[in-house]
């Protein structure tokens, strides 16, 4: 039992980006960006359009390398035990995306 508990704290669970998550696309390069990188790009004058991850996939857009390297497309890491306790309501469930696909900062 004790070893199972230890394993539960060692194994991590990472939140995956939901298909309805808001992303930004560059129609010229056919890339999509996570919001943190997209905001940086738009500040520098790049023209990006807002859509959902599902729509970007449907149009065969690819994840932009900077966004991927920054971790824009994955959520928070939690140990398996903590993730399970959050699912059953003993701990607050912290998510990177809200249920409507907006980013939860």
State how far the Cα of 105 lies from the Cα of 89, in Å rounded to an integer: 21
Provide the token pair at 16.
């995956």
Q: What is the pLDDT of residues 89-102, one digit of tens each?
A: 887 777 788 889 98
Q: What is the pLDDT of residues 35-78, one digit of tens each?
A: 999 999 998 889 999 999 999 999 999 999 999 999 898 876 66
Question: Residue 21's pLDDT is what?
Answer: 95
Query: Are 63 and 73 in contact, with CB atoms under 8 Å apart?
Result: yes
Q: Which domain holds residue 88?
A: 1-14+76-97
What pTM does this model have?
0.76
Query: Is 103 a member of any domain?
Result: no
Q: Are residues 25 and 66 in the same domain?
A: yes
Query: Is 105 a member of any domain?
Result: no
Query: Is 104 a member of any domain?
Result: no
State how far the Cα of 70 lies from the Cα of 3, in Å rounded to an integer: 34
DSSP string, 8-64: HHHSEEEEEPPTT-EEEEETTTTEEE-HHHHHHHHHTT---EEEEHHHHHHTT-EE-
Q: Are residues 35 and 48 in the same domain?
A: yes
């Amino acid at each position: 039992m004790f070893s199972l508990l230890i394993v539960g704290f060692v194994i991590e669970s990472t939140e995956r980006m939901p298909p309805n998550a808001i992303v930004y696309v560059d129609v010229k390069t056919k890339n999509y960006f996570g919001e943190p990188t997209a905001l940086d790009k738009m500040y520098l004058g790049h023209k990006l359009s807002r859509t959902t991850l599902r729509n970007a996939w449907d149009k065969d857009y690819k994840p932009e390398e900077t966004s991927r390297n920054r971790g824009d497309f994955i959520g928070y890491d939690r140990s398996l035990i903590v993730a399970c306790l959050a699912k059953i309501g003993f701990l607050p469930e912290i998510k990177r995306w809200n249920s409507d696909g907006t980013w939860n900062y």
